[in-house]
Amino acid sequence: MENVLVLVRHGESEWNKLNLFTGWRDPGLTETGTAEAHRAGKLVKAEGFVFDVAFTSALKRAQITLEIMLEELGQQGLETIKDQALNERHYGDLCGLNKDDARKKWGDEQVHIWRRSYDVPPPGGESLKDTAARVLPYYEAEILPKVLAGKNVLVSAHGNSLRALIMQLDKLSPEEILKLNLGTGEPYVYRLNADGSVASKKILTT
């Protein structure tokens, strides 16, 4: 199968486990996250995909997830392009804070707005709209042309950078995308038409 785009959110990170706002900080994976990455690789391998190129962010939790998946796929050494355009949303002043502590400092409602609104950024950080403004041009310039050239592309990135991308692929409204929670290590498989629209979509679960 050609024209395949597989999107995977990294496995559980050390800061996910600690309930911290992570953003552009760079923790590694937990044991659970490592296991999720292995499982994601096995799930993708079971579909029979062979990839031509992979993309990931500048953050090691996404890079390690990709490395583990490629190991499971028997495709170590695959051309891999790393770019901070695919980084997680930057949480600004919230980075490194426990989410419960942030609620105590700013209030439940304000933290909820920062986390779940489309276009209201936390202090010094990015909204989902801001994240989309860097992810989508990169996708259209670097990733999409490869898929449309008949290549199979694997992308290991982050909850919000991938939500920005899925919003465009699935033609979701700002309200609809806010309800989407991507599971860690859960592959989304898209097959694209010649115009870049979605021909089919499948979420791989155990």
Q: What is the pLDDT of residue 1?
A: 63
For the cut 90, the answer to whether the pLDDT of residue 136 exceeds it is yes
Beta-strand relationship, 4-9 and 153-157: parallel
Rounded percentage of the chain residues whose pLDDT exceeds 70: 100
Give this prediction's pTM.
0.96
How far, in Å, CA of 147 to CA of 62, rounded? 21
Nearest CA to 146 out of 7, 44, 50, 4 is that of: 4
User: How would DSSP label each residue in 125-162?
Assistant: S--HHHHHHHHHHHIIIIIHHHHHTT--EEEEE-HHHH
pLDDT of 180: 92
Between residues 135 and 1, which one has the greater pLDDT?
Answer: 135
pLDDT of the residue at 191: 97
At 151-192, the pLDDT tens digits run 999 999 999 999 999 999 999 999 899 889 999 999 999 999
What residues are labeled active site?
Answer: 10, 88
* pLDDT band at residue 116 under the 50/70/90 scheme: confident
pLDDT tens digits along 17-60 = 999 999 999 999 999 999 999 999 999 999 999 999 999 999 99
Euclidean distance between CA atoms 13 and 195, whole angstroms: 36
What mean pLDDT do residues 118-141 have?
A: 97
Domains of the chain: 4-18+29-90+129-203 (3.40.50.1240)
Is the pLDDT assigned to residue 14 strictly greater than 70? Answer: yes
* Cα–Cα distance list, 137 to 62, 140, 142, 143, 173 (Å): 20, 5, 8, 10, 18
Q: How confident is the model at residue 2 (pLDDT cuts 50, 70, 90)?
A: confident
